[in-house]
């Protein structure tokens, strides 16, 4: 018997939301593959989201948050509970510098790549290091998205969130304990982030955005159907230094290997792509195979950077909200 309560329309029927039962999630991810959500709900207001969170909490219903789908793999059997999508204007608004505030407030559902371009156009520095990273603001904060030029944490002033009880919290960056691809967010949903953006020379900022994007384009297989880097760069226990996951995968002889429609990129070993007709479970099986081969070859265990949603994981932590 499932530990999750079956979701019924009574949960949202009187709320200002869009809801789709048995919603296909695969098309909403960058892999374009995967199963369905029991229900996908897009609140139009913060009040609707708050009430929804409270009802899910009262009924012991798991809540997940779908961002841009760029760092997500939904297994073929799909997931139960509620998947929330913050794609309405109430969660995408940006209040730029110049309105009397000291920081820029940006809704958690806003598109990060568009924000990078808009901040450069306005001559505001602080986001250019994130050029070319597909994410929503909420997802970028939760995983501290970044790359060779920097990460999200270096510009975050504070975040606004709703707890699983539907309570408002504002948390300063110093309390989020940002680290490599992680931060110490409480369980709940990020609704906005405040960024310290610095006025500068628009031409120089646009130049840096182009530099960062061109570097990504030259080193990563951006044309493949993938979710970006599959694994975090691990710490080598022998040296205490962070190693390149792509290099370890290459040395283990996994470049070009495939299972079903999933394959390890020949261009960058830390990218697992998907061919037409492949499945989400092909990707997961290949990721497990890569982890095992690298462990056998180097003694180093790789941890996934890509978030995996699966019914098999639901009983482990029913109330956790994940935002890829």
By annotation, the residues acting in catalysis are 181, 229, 305
Rg of the chain, C-alpha, whole Å: 20
The pair of structure tokens assigned to 194 is: 């405040």
Other beta carbons within 10 angstroms of residue 165's beta carbon come to 12
Q: Exposure pattern of 267-306 as b/e (b: 16+ CB <10 Å)?
A: ebbbbbbbeeebbbbbbbebbebbbebbeeebebebebbb
| Inter-residue contact 196 to 155 (CB < 8 Å) | yes
Closest CA to 250 of 304, 180, 298: 298
Beta-sheet strand order (sheet of 188-195): 94-95, 104-107, 188-195, 156-163, 168-172
Give the C-alpha separation, 293 to 53, whole Å.
Answer: 41
Other beta carbons within 10 angstroms of residue 13's beta carbon come to 9
The pair of structure tokens assigned to 216 is: 């990504």
CB contact set of 79 (below 8 Å; sequence gap of 6+): 25, 35, 36, 37, 38, 64, 309, 310, 311, 314
| Inter-residue contact 133 to 114 (CB < 8 Å) | no
Helix ranges (DSSP H) in 178-279: 202-219, 245-251
């Amino acid at each position: 018997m499932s530990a999750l309560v079956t979701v019924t329309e009574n949960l949202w029927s009187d709320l200002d939301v869009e809801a789709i039962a048995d919603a296909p999630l695969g098309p909403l991810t960058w892999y374009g593959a995967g199963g369905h959500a029991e229900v996908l709900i897009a609140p139009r207001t913060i009040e609707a989201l708050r009430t929804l969170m409270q009802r899910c909490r009262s009924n012991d219903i798991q809540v997940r948050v779908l961002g841009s789908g760029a760092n997500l793999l939904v297994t073929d059997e799909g997931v139960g509970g509620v998947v929330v999508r913050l794609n309405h204007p109430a969660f995408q608004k940006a209040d730029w510098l110049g309105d009397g505030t000291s920081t820029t407030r940006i809704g958690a559902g806003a598109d990060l790549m568009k924000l990078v371009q808009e901040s450069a156009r306005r001559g505001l520095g602080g986001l250019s290091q994130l050029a070319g990273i597909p994410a929503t603001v909420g997802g970028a904060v939760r995983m501290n998205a970044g790359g060779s030029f920097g990460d999200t944490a270096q510009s975050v002033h504070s975040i606004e969130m709703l707890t699983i009880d539907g309570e408002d919290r504002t948390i300063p960056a110093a309390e989020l304990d940002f680290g490599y691809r992680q931060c110490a967010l409480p369980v709940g949903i990020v609704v906005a982030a405040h960024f310290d953006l610095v006025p500068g020379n628009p031409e120089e900022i646009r130049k840096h955005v182009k530099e960062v994007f061109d570097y990504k384009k030259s080193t990563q297989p951006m044309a493949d159907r993938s979710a970006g880097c599959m694994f975090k760069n691990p710490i080598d226990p022998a040296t205490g230094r962070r190693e390149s996951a792509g290099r370890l995968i290459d040395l283990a002889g996994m470049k070009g290997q495939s299972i079903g429609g999933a394959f390890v990129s020949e261009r960058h070993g830390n990218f697992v792509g998907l061919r037409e007709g492949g499945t989400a479970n092909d990707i997961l099986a290949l990721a497990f195979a890569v982890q095992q081969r690298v462990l056998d070859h180097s003694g180093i265990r790789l941890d996934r950077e890509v978030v995996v949603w699966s019914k098999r994981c639901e009983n482990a932590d029913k109330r956790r909200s994940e935002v890829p």
